Amino acid sequence: MATRPPQPAPAPQPLPFTAPWEYELVFPHDPRGPGIARVTLRAVLTVHGLDELADRAELLTSELTTNSVRHTWGPATVRLAWEYPVLRVSVADTGPYVPAVPPDPSAVALDAIRGRGMLILDLVAYRWGGFPLGLPPSESKGKIVWFELRLDAEAPPPGAVPALVA
Protein backbone atom coordinates (compact mmCIF):
# COMPACT_ATOMS: atom_id res chain seq x y z
CA MET A 1 0.00 0.00 0.00
CA ALA A 2 1.49 3.30 -1.11
CA THR A 3 1.50 6.22 1.29
CA ARG A 4 0.76 9.71 0.15
CA PRO A 5 3.35 12.37 0.80
CA PRO A 6 2.41 14.82 3.55
CA GLN A 7 0.38 17.77 2.36
CA PRO A 8 1.71 21.26 3.07
CA ALA A 9 -0.08 23.22 5.76
CA PRO A 10 -2.40 25.93 4.48
CA ALA A 11 -0.81 29.36 4.22
CA PRO A 12 -1.40 31.47 7.34
CA GLN A 13 -3.74 34.42 6.94
CA PRO A 14 -2.66 37.92 8.05
CA LEU A 15 -4.03 39.00 11.40
CA PRO A 16 -6.99 41.37 11.31
CA PHE A 17 -6.04 44.98 12.09
CA THR A 18 -7.59 44.93 15.57
CA ALA A 19 -6.14 41.54 16.58
CA PRO A 20 -3.48 41.73 19.32
CA TRP A 21 0.13 40.81 18.55
CA GLU A 22 3.62 41.01 20.09
CA TYR A 23 7.16 41.11 18.73
CA GLU A 24 10.43 41.09 20.64
CA LEU A 25 13.99 42.00 19.66
CA VAL A 26 17.05 41.36 21.83
CA PHE A 27 20.24 43.18 20.96
CA PRO A 28 23.71 43.10 22.55
CA HIS A 29 25.40 46.04 24.24
CA ASP A 30 26.40 47.56 20.92
CA PRO A 31 26.01 51.14 19.66
CA ARG A 32 24.35 49.77 16.48
CA GLY A 33 21.51 48.27 18.54
CA PRO A 34 19.27 51.37 18.67
CA GLY A 35 19.44 51.72 14.87
CA ILE A 36 18.52 48.07 14.40
CA ALA A 37 15.65 48.51 16.87
CA ARG A 38 14.36 51.56 14.94
CA VAL A 39 14.44 49.77 11.58
CA THR A 40 12.77 46.68 13.04
CA LEU A 41 10.07 48.71 14.78
CA ARG A 42 9.26 50.66 11.62
CA ALA A 43 9.08 47.45 9.56
CA VAL A 44 6.66 45.84 12.03
CA LEU A 45 4.43 48.91 12.25
CA THR A 46 4.40 49.32 8.46
CA VAL A 47 3.31 45.75 7.72
CA HIS A 48 0.60 46.04 10.38
CA GLY A 49 -0.75 49.27 8.86
CA LEU A 50 0.29 51.46 11.79
CA ASP A 51 2.24 54.09 9.86
CA GLU A 52 0.45 56.82 11.84
CA LEU A 53 2.35 55.70 14.97
CA ALA A 54 5.71 54.97 13.34
CA ASP A 55 7.47 58.36 13.65
CA ARG A 56 6.58 58.85 17.32
CA ALA A 57 7.31 55.22 18.19
CA GLU A 58 10.66 55.39 16.41
CA LEU A 59 11.67 58.60 18.22
CA LEU A 60 10.78 57.26 21.66
CA THR A 61 12.27 53.82 21.04
CA SER A 62 15.46 55.51 19.89
CA GLU A 63 15.62 57.50 23.13
CA LEU A 64 15.10 54.45 25.35
CA THR A 65 17.44 52.12 23.46
CA THR A 66 20.16 54.75 23.26
CA ASN A 67 19.89 55.21 27.02
CA SER A 68 20.28 51.44 27.39
CA VAL A 69 23.50 51.42 25.39
CA ARG A 70 24.88 54.55 27.07
CA HIS A 71 24.03 53.82 30.69
CA THR A 72 24.05 50.02 31.09
CA TRP A 73 26.49 47.21 30.51
CA GLY A 74 24.45 44.35 29.05
CA PRO A 75 21.94 43.46 26.36
CA ALA A 76 18.58 45.15 25.91
CA THR A 77 15.20 43.83 24.83
CA VAL A 78 12.64 45.82 22.86
CA ARG A 79 9.10 44.49 22.97
CA LEU A 80 6.22 45.76 20.82
CA ALA A 81 2.68 44.87 21.86
CA TRP A 82 -0.47 45.93 20.01
CA GLU A 83 -3.87 45.83 21.65
CA TYR A 84 -6.16 47.99 19.55
CA PRO A 85 -6.00 51.01 19.75
CA VAL A 86 -2.82 51.10 21.88
CA LEU A 87 0.77 50.27 20.95
CA ARG A 88 3.01 49.57 23.94
CA VAL A 89 6.78 49.55 23.48
CA SER A 90 8.97 48.46 26.35
CA VAL A 91 12.73 48.40 26.68
CA ALA A 92 14.31 46.14 29.28
CA ASP A 93 17.98 46.44 30.15
CA THR A 94 20.48 45.71 32.90
CA GLY A 95 20.49 49.20 34.41
CA PRO A 96 19.24 49.34 37.99
CA TYR A 97 17.51 52.73 37.98
CA VAL A 98 14.33 53.87 36.28
CA PRO A 99 14.98 57.30 34.75
CA ALA A 100 12.73 60.23 35.61
CA VAL A 101 11.66 63.45 33.95
CA PRO A 102 13.90 66.30 35.14
CA PRO A 103 12.22 68.06 38.10
CA ASP A 104 12.57 71.41 36.33
CA PRO A 105 12.11 70.83 32.58
CA SER A 106 12.77 74.51 31.90
CA ALA A 107 16.33 73.97 33.16
CA VAL A 108 17.04 71.59 30.26
CA ALA A 109 18.51 73.63 27.42
CA LEU A 110 16.69 73.16 24.12
CA ASP A 111 20.00 72.73 22.32
CA ALA A 112 21.43 70.31 24.91
CA ILE A 113 22.99 67.17 23.42
CA ARG A 114 21.95 65.01 26.40
CA GLY A 115 19.31 65.03 29.09
CA ARG A 116 16.20 65.64 26.99
CA GLY A 117 15.14 62.02 26.36
CA MET A 118 12.79 61.58 29.29
CA LEU A 119 11.30 65.01 28.70
CA ILE A 120 10.59 64.04 25.08
CA LEU A 121 9.08 60.77 26.30
CA ASP A 122 6.84 62.65 28.72
CA LEU A 123 5.68 65.06 26.01
CA VAL A 124 5.10 62.58 23.15
CA ALA A 125 3.82 59.38 24.80
CA TYR A 126 0.16 58.79 25.56
CA ARG A 127 1.35 57.15 28.82
CA TRP A 128 4.70 55.87 30.07
CA GLY A 129 6.33 54.35 33.11
CA GLY A 130 9.01 52.05 34.34
CA PHE A 131 9.86 49.63 37.08
CA PRO A 132 12.93 47.83 38.43
CA LEU A 133 13.37 44.09 38.00
CA GLY A 134 14.30 42.50 41.31
CA LEU A 135 14.06 43.98 44.78
CA PRO A 136 15.55 45.73 46.61
CA PRO A 137 17.59 47.97 44.25
CA SER A 138 20.80 46.49 45.65
CA GLU A 139 19.73 43.18 44.07
CA SER A 140 18.62 44.76 40.82
CA LYS A 141 18.23 42.55 37.79
CA GLY A 142 17.64 45.55 35.55
CA LYS A 143 14.60 47.59 34.66
CA ILE A 144 11.84 48.05 32.12
CA VAL A 145 10.80 51.43 30.76
CA TRP A 146 7.69 51.46 28.59
CA PHE A 147 5.52 53.89 26.68
CA GLU A 148 2.17 53.73 24.98
CA LEU A 149 0.92 55.46 21.86
CA ARG A 150 -2.76 55.57 21.02
CA LEU A 151 -4.06 55.30 17.47
CA ASP A 152 -6.33 58.25 16.80
CA ALA A 153 -7.66 57.05 13.45
CA GLU A 154 -10.82 55.00 13.18
CA ALA A 155 -10.31 51.26 12.86
CA PRO A 156 -10.87 49.64 9.48
CA PRO A 157 -13.96 47.46 9.11
CA PRO A 158 -13.95 44.11 10.96
CA GLY A 159 -11.93 41.48 9.13
CA ALA A 160 -9.84 44.04 7.24
CA VAL A 161 -6.12 43.38 7.02
CA PRO A 162 -3.41 45.90 6.16
CA ALA A 163 -1.70 45.71 2.80
CA LEU A 164 1.24 43.31 2.83
CA VAL A 165 4.66 44.69 2.07
CA ALA A 166 6.70 42.43 -0.17
- pLDDT given for residue 114 in this prediction: 63
Global pTM value: 0.83
Classify 42 in phi/psi space as left (phi over 0), alpha (psi -120 to 50) or beta.
alpha
- pLDDT given for residue 32 in this prediction: 98
- pLDDT given for residue 79 in this prediction: 98
- pLDDT given for residue 166 in this prediction: 44
Stretches where the chain sits below pLDDT 70 are: 1, 103-115, 136-138, 153-166
- pLDDT given for residue 148 in this prediction: 97
Within 8 A by CB and 6+ apart from 151, the residues are: 50, 52, 53, 84, 85, 86, 87
| pLDDT tens column, 98-119 | 888 776 666 666 666 666 788 8
- pLDDT given for residue 17 in this prediction: 92
